[in-house]
Amino acid sequence: MAKSPSFNDAVVQAMRILYPEELADKSWDNTGLLLDQAPSFPQRVGSSRPTVLLTNDLTETVVDEALEKGATVIVCYHPVIFRPLKSLTTKDPMQAQLLRLIAAGITVYCPHTAVDAAVGGLNDWLCDILIDGDEEIKRAVAEPISRPLPASLQGQNVGYGRVFELNQSITLQTLLRRLSAGIGGQKYMMVALPPTLNDLTKTQIITKIAVCAGSGADVLKNTDAQVLVTGEMAHHYALRHTQLGQIVVTCFHSNSERKFLEQRLKPQLEAQLKDAGYGDVLVIASSADRDPFDIIDVRDLA
């Protein structure tokens, strides 16, 4: 009888099934199992059930939470190691957290652009929260993957960003409310309007929308959608789109990604682990993870 995989190995295998690493853009991205400690460390004490923590970014407070919850695995959307390390030092904030995780025996898996590109992944989720039950007539990949893919992934609608069209038009106001609700009730967004639509209070009729979670400038640069929804966009890219008559909506980089972990990845991972024989597990979306930016009204300052 084949030996059952360890819990850490089961989590990694589940993530690779859900979001194959071949979908990640390895030309610049660093994804996969970035901190592997399964062979060296036993199950950590701190939780009576095997526990995995989902987070968008790895920060000191997220590591504190992982230790408190007794997690043995962290699935961190953004890579915890992005560029080659020449040393490990506590003077660097990210490296300090990696050293804490090494000492605690916690494994870290980072899927990043594999989640962006996959069918049913982050960008499809972003479409879904904006559609909110409306009938769509078409959904396409904004930037298809051009490199060769394994046979199992060929023919799938994979790639970065999405563009969708609705059967019935909606207003920009409705779109903004849906985005706010879908990403967790965010009250403030940045909207760049073209010169011909310089009044946000006037109804703008929308049928074609492009989305890219995170930073969408490059992925969405060639779309003809009426509205571009992304986490962040550089000044000159946004200016170009407004001069083309398009509307750009940004909600801060990680705010366009974070709720996906709780709403879609959590149940997906729970189901995969159950199939692997790990039904009684805790998959927790981090409550400590947050975007680094806040909106401050200077009129409220003391």
Annotated binding site for a divalent metal cation: which residue ranges? 78, 116, 253, 257
Residue 248's DSSP bridge partners are 192, 228
Closest Cα partner for 278 from 36, 80, 50, 28? 50
* Amino acid, single-letter form, for residue 250: T
Which tokens in the block code for residue 246? 């398009």
How far, CA to CA in Å, does 227 sit from each of 87, 157, 164, 246? 44, 21, 10, 6
Closest Cα partner for 140 from 222, 196, 58? 222
Which tokens in the block code for residue 203? 């109804």
Residue 99's DSSP bridge partners are none
Closest Cα partner for 164 from 123, 192, 203, 115? 123
Which tokens in the block code for residue 106? 């916690």
**8 Å CB contact between 40 and 104:** no
Question: Any idea of the CA torsion for 192, 198, 203, 208, to the nearest 10 degrees?
Answer: -40
Which tokens in the block code for residue 86? 């020449």
**8 Å CB contact between 272 and 248:** no
Whole-number Å distance between alpha carbons of 182 and 184: 6
